[in-house]
Amino acid sequence: MKQQDIRAAAAILWRHWQQSTRLGELPAQCRPQARADAYAVQAEVARQSGQGIIGWKIAATSKAGQQHIQVDGPIAGCLLAARKAEAGARIALAGNNMKVAEAEFAFRMGRDLPKRATPYGVAEVLAAVASLHPAIEVPDSRYEDFTCVGAAQLIADVACACWFLIGAEVDADWRARDLIQHRVTAYRNGELAGQGSGANVLGDPRAALAWVANELCTFGSGLRAGDVVITGTCLTPVPVVSGDRVRADFGEFGSLEAGFV
């Protein structure tokens, strides 16, 4: 894509972000087809937002999620600084089309994993992690029907990013635990709303983290110390409406809540 088309696509998407409005799809003349172009548009959306990037999200980490949005694998999106909410915060649903909450593992990086030619292994990526946290993501899309626009347009739209909350650092020795089988439970207004485990996150949240490290080596500049990575929902997204309160319970890893207005 030409730089002027990248800027045009990003301007359209960022306008819809700001106005909480929807488009069918990007105009043909500035619609990314290749993955590299899609990430270039995403980076331009972040630049036009005027916000810093404080981490990354991974979308479509389960087979069900990939089938739902008609992609053949996960996609990554940057986390904008102004979209981080404190644990317990009330999230405005006005203009949100998806209206779901997702319980996710979040890793905070302790050192850089810079761009390089050879892929990072899971062990090497984990060695660069400073801490693990429970997290809740409240995603959204700027497309009228995000299930049919394809991976490139979804990546351009920051992989359905919107709000996210990061809980307290996990005190338990999470490195010695089986994150694949680790149970995660969601409660809506005090009632059970969903159950899942780390197995729903690309088979293992640690593998998902390694995936995004390598995705950013291919299409970005890598992970940086301080970056937070939310690795994808551990359970079927929980539908929410104004007045609801959702608690994501990670057992010995802690829990966090979000309210919705």
Q: Is residue 241 part of a domain?
A: yes
Q: Which residue has the tokens 């892929």?
A: 119
At 63, which helix (H) or strand (E)? helix 63-68
What global pTM score does this model have? 0.97
CA dihedral (56, 62, 64, 67) positive or negative: positive
SS3 label, residue 142: coil
* Domain region containing 231: 53-260
**26 in a structural domain:** no
How many domains is the chain built from? 1
What pLDDT, in 10s, does the model give residues 31-74?
999 999 999 999 999 999 999 999 999 999 988 899 989 998 99
Residue 171 carries which side chain, given as an amino acid letter?
D
Q: Is residue 91 part of a domain?
A: yes
Q: Are 81 and 53 in contact (CB under 8 A)?
A: yes
Task: Using CB atoms within 10 Å of the CB of residue 108, give its burial: 0 to 12 exposed, 13 to 18 middle, 19+ buried.
Answer: middle
Distances (CA, A) of 201 to 107, 207, 249: 13, 8, 16
C-alpha dihedral sign at 112, 86, 253, 210: negative
Give the CATH number of the domain where residue 82 resides.
Answer: 3.90.850.10
Enumerate the β-bridge partners of residue 132: 107
The tens digit of pLDDT for each residue in 141-200 reads 999 999 999 999 999 999 999 999 999 999 999 999 999 999 999 999 999 999 999 999
